[in-house]
Amino acid sequence: MKMTKFEKRFIVRPGHTARVVDSLKKLLPYMEFSEGRKLLEVGCADGAASRFFAAEHHLDVTGIDVDPELIRIARESSVGVPSLRFMVVDAASLPFQDNRFDIVLSSMVMHHVSRWATAMKEIRRVLKPGGNFIFIDLLTSRCLAGVARLFCRNYGVITKSALKACLEEGGLSTLHSSTAGLLIYYHKAVYQRNV
Strands of 84-88's sheet in order across: 84-88, 60-65, 38-42, 101-107, 127-140, 184-193, 172-181
Could you give the 3-state DSSP secondary structure of residue 135? strand
Greatest Cα-to-Cα distance within the chain, rounded to the nearest angstrom: 48
Please compute the mean of the pLDDT values over residues 34-55 and round it to a whole number: 95
pLDDT in tens, 20-38: 889 999 999 999 888 889 9
Average pLDDT over residues 77-100: 96
Residues 64 and 86: beta-carbon distance below 8 Å: yes
Average pLDDT for residues 98-121, to the nearest whole number? Answer: 93
Record the pTM: 0.91
CATH number of the domain at 5-193, out of 2.60.120.260, 1.20.272.10, 3.40.50.150, 3.40.50.720? 3.40.50.150
Residue 187 is inside which H or E element, if any?
strand 184-193
Of the listed ranges 94-103, 146-155, 170-179, the one predicted with least confidence: 146-155
Determine the number of helices (DSSP H) and then strands (DSSP E) in the chain.
7, 7
The predicted-structure confidence for 118-146, as pLDDT tens digits, reads as follows: 999 999 999 999 999 999 998 887 765 55
- For the chain, what percent of residues have pLDDT higher than 90? 68
Please, what is the Cα angle at 2 between 59 and 137, to 5 degrees? 60
